[in-house]
A and B are shown apart, each in its own frame.
Chain A
Amino acid sequence: MSTDKDENHQRLKAAVHYTVGRLCQKIGEEHRREFSRQAIAAIAETTFRQCDTFAKDLEAFARHGKRSTVSAEDVKLAARRSTALSIYIQKKSEEFNQEQRDLKKNTGKRKSRDTEEESRE
């Protein structure tokens, strides 16, 4: 039972490590500077732990809204600490909604649902 959980943990860590490695490599190439293995491992570990914090925050936000499903609004709330990040996430959310609307149009199921989101405070 707990070994199962540990294995799952290790797999997820490996997945995070892989993506972190690729992102670092890309940025390293852009700036002509290489990232050491330890640096990548440290960033991966930090990202993994940050996920823990994010998940607990998101869960608490959802529960505060009396929901058991974490919504996009909860994620926006999690990004509140940095203005730039908050704007970026807001933008991505609008892009996603636009895509969904286009998809609906294409499939013919037109629901004229204008969920225009005004920039929330």
Chain B
Amino acid sequence: MAEMDAEVAFKKETVRKLLSTFFKEDKTKLSGEAVLLMAEMLKVFVQEAAVRSQKQAESEDCHQVDIEHFEKILPQLLLDF
């Protein structure tokens, strides 16, 4: 692990491209601050998914977090975002 302290996050350019491909109109653009905030939002989304799945696995006394744990927390996760 070369970058232990380095914060894992989505790259700004990735977020910009990602959102841009989903826009219906080509002329829709993103401000710099919007991209930054969306990167944060996506990070929180993934972290929530991971932590909730992990908790589900814990409650079932499983060593590994598997897809079934994620499936169980998915409905509430989507309601929260």
Binding site for B on A (CB under 8 A): 5, 8-9, 12, 15-16, 19-20, 22-24, 26-28, 31, 33-36, 38-39, 41-43, 46-48, 50-52, 54-56, 58-59, 62-63, 68-72, 74-76, 78-79, 81-82, 85, 88-89, 92-93, 96-97
Chain A residues with Cβ below 8 Å from B45 are 47, 50
Contact B29 A70 (CB under 8 A): yes
Q: Pick the residue among B17, B29, B58, B66 that contacts A12 (CB under 8 A).
A: B17
| Bound CA span A93–B32, Å | 11
Contact B41 A23 (CB under 8 A): no
Q: Pick the residue among A15, A38, A96 that contacts B33 (CB under 8 A).
A: A96
Contact A75 B38 (CB under 8 A): yes
Contact A56 B63 (CB under 8 A): no
Contact with A along B11-34 (1 / 0, CB 8 A): 100100111111111011111011
Given A15-B14, A81-B80, check contact A59 B28 (CB 8 Å): yes
Is there a chain A Cβ closer than 8 Å to B67's Cβ? yes
Given A39-B69, A46-B74, A50-B81, check contact A92 B40 (CB 8 Å): yes
- Known: A36-B66, A56-B24, A59-B23; 19 extra A-B contacts, CB below 8 A, are A12-B14, A15-B18, A24-B46, A24-B65, A33-B65, A36-B65, A41-B67, A47-B45, A47-B49, A50-B81, A55-B20, A58-B30, A71-B31, A72-B37, A81-B81, A88-B40, A92-B36, A92-B40, A96-B33
Task: Give A13's nearest chain B residue, CB to CB.
Answer: B18
| Bound CA span A50–B34, Å | 16
Q: Pick the residue among B28, B42, B66, B74 that contacts A70 (CB under 8 A).
A: B28
Chain B residues with Cβ below 8 Å from A12 are 14, 17-18, 21
A24 to chain B, nearest CB (A): 5
Contact B70 A43 (CB under 8 A): yes
Contact B65 A79 (CB under 8 A): no
